[in-house]
Every structure is written in structure tokens, then in C-alpha cells.
Amino acid sequence: MQRDAWHGPASQGAAFDWPRTFAARGAGHLRPEHLRRRPQQARSGALHCFLLDCSASMRSDGNLARAKGLLLALMQEAYQRRDHVALLCFAGEVVELRLPPRRASAWNDDWVAPIAAGGGTPLALGVQRAGQLLAKSESRQRWLWLLTDGRSSENPARPEAADMACVVDFETARVPLHRARQLATHWDARYVVASNPNA
């Protein structure tokens, strides 16, 4: 049975109330409806950079669809907090900036829905591009969210510009490799196991 492992210090500026989120989740896996938001702070201004794995392996068990659902939930939370968001998608040999840094909007379904999966997993390149993007926003608290199934042998370093990092694991293989969890440990990042349809 998989367990959620958390690493790294808590942050007063974090968007989510993780104890309440885990209480809502119970013994199951994390789902978008479990997310609980911290009370609105007087000062907002975080940048949440989402790095979405769109490789072919993410098509398994509807992982990409679940990742997009969680992405939409996270962006909605960012909108309610008046934070900024950005989205990078990586697959094949390409990292695509699907959403440049901007104030989060209320409706994101129309541009998130067409995102498809296919090709290899250029994880290191994706992380590099995310680091470059975050480095341009020194005035904000910078979050890096990696949504992946971890099916890559690459082990890139955590970007120095990422003040906080969270790895969301979508691995559903019968024989898991646990690479996403290993990467979270390597990064000293928070680690979350996404909901598993096979659990």
C-alpha cells in the first residue's frame, strides 16, 4: 500500500491547508475535491508553475485526464487567492509553454482540455525550463508543481528558483518504479500520490 511522504518545511504562504486536505482525503488517494484552502491572506502574489508530464505513458489508466482535473482544481484555488500561474507541458523532445505567467483566471477548461499525450519524457529539459521561468519572478513566492508518473530515468536537480516544490505522483503500474517519490526526496519537496483508479 502506497503512503504519502512529505518533505520540506511548511510555508505560511502556502495556498493549501494540508492537514485539512488530508483529513478530507481519509485513507484513500488525493483527489481534487479533497483540496482545502487556507484562509485568504492580506497579501497574495505567489507564482505557481505547473510542469505537466504529457508523455505517452501518461495515457495509461487515464492519468493525463486525472492530472488535468487536478490542474484545473489547483488553478481554481490560485484564482481564489489572486495568485499567478504558468503551465509548461513536456513530451517527446519538446517543452511547450502553454500558459505564460499571468494572474489565474476563473475558467481554464477550454485550453486545458485539448492537451494530449504522446512521445518520450524529457523531464530534465522540462525542469530546466521551469527553473528559467521561475527565476524571472524573484518578487513572488515561487512554487513548482510537477505532475508526472515518474516514468523517466532522468534525475534533474531541483531548480534553485523554486522556493517550494511539490511532486504529484500519477504512477499506476502494477510494478511501480517509485521514481517520482525518489525525485521528491532528492528535491526535498512535498510528495503527493494522486488518486489511483486501480486502488
**Helix (H) / strand (E) containing 114:** none
Judge whether residue 161 has pLDDT over 70: yes
Average pLDDT (173-188) is 95
Q: Chain centroid to CA 36: how far? A: 16
Judge whether residue 118 has pLDDT over 60: yes
Name the pairing type of β-strands 94-103 and 84-91. antiparallel
Amino acid making up residue 171:
E
Q: Sheet containing 94-103: which strands, arranged edge to edge?
A: 94-103, 84-91, 47-53, 142-148, 164-169, 190-193
| pTM summary value | 0.79
Amino acid making up residue 158:
R
Judge whether residue 102 has pLDDT over 50: yes
DSSP 47-79: EEEEEEE-SGGGGGGGHHHHHHHHHHHHHHHHH
Dihedral Cα 26, 23, 113, 57, nearest 10 deg: -50
DSSP secondary-structure letter at 194? B
SS3 assignment for 7-46: CCCCCCCCCECHHHHHHHHCCCCECHHHCCECCCCCCCCC
In angstroms and rounded to an integer, the radius of gyration of the C-alpha atoms of the chain is: 15
Q: What percentage of the chain has pLDDT greater than the value 70? A: 80
Backbone angle region of 26, left / alpha / beta, with phi > 0 → left and psi within -120 to 50 → alpha:
left
For residue range 43-91, what is the model confidence (pLDDT) as tens digits?
448 999 999 999 999 999 999 999 999 999 999 999 999 999 999 999 9
Higher local confidence (pLDDT), 24 or 152: 152
Judge whether residue 184 has pLDDT over 50: yes
For residue range 1-41, what is the model confidence (pLDDT) as tens digits?
333 433 333 343 356 666 667 666 766 677 777 777 765 54
All structural domains of the chain: 45-193 (3.40.50.410)
Average pLDDT (168-174) is 93
Average pLDDT (89-107) is 95
